[in-house]
Structure 1
């Protein structure tokens, strides 16, 4: 598990077209998805399967009473959100604690 605390993250960024696609497919906009990083019990894992050209990660945490998984990368002191959804696999990593 990884942590970005103290890593100098200053902002969140994303592609508006990807956000629109994510919203239609998973019902989550990226402004809401960014809230997962505020969860003190969040869990961050490296996305080994999609880290070919750049390192990618998953952040799993609670937003509005539901467990959300956010895919992201870290570029130039910014978290770039790639996708987000309420995925069962992410939930299983977080379920030890109640949301």
Structure 2
């Protein structure tokens, strides 16, 4: 699977949460739990995936496109 993201969003996420989108694909290689994110009307189907990255549980918000997984945000999981 290919992973894509907005570069400005990647840099903002890195500054705010200390997690680089370039590291996030490794989360999907391990044990994960994915749920649909439907709290808001985003106009597209979004998912939150919980998994391990460098020994920490993180939450990755993403969409599934025909050709890729598009990463929207990644942060330390504080509420499961």
Could you tell me the TM-score, scaled by structure 2's length?
0.92
Asked whether the equivalents of residues 68 and 85 of structure 1 are also in contact (C-alpha less than 8 Å), the reply is: yes
Which entry has the higher C-alpha Rg, 1 or 2? 1
Q: Please give the alpha-carbon distance, in whole angstroms, between the structure 1 residues aligned to 2:5 and 2:61.
A: 11
Asked whether the equivalents of residues 33 and 68 of structure 1 are also in contact (C-alpha less than 8 Å), the reply is: no
1:63 maps to which residue? Answer: 53
Bigger share in strand = 2
Q: Which contiguous aligned blocks of 4+ residues in structure 1 show a shift greater than 6 angstroms?
A: none
Q: How does 1:1-99 map to 2 (within 5 A)?
A: 10-39=1-30, 41-89=31-79, 92=80
Alignment RMSD: 1.2
Unaligned runs of 5+ in 1: 1-9, 93-99
Q: Which has the higher contact order (CA 8 A, sep 6+)?
A: 2
Asked whether the equivalents of residues 50 and 77 of structure 2 are also in contact (C-alpha less than 8 Å), the reply is: no
Unaligned runs of 5+ in 2: none
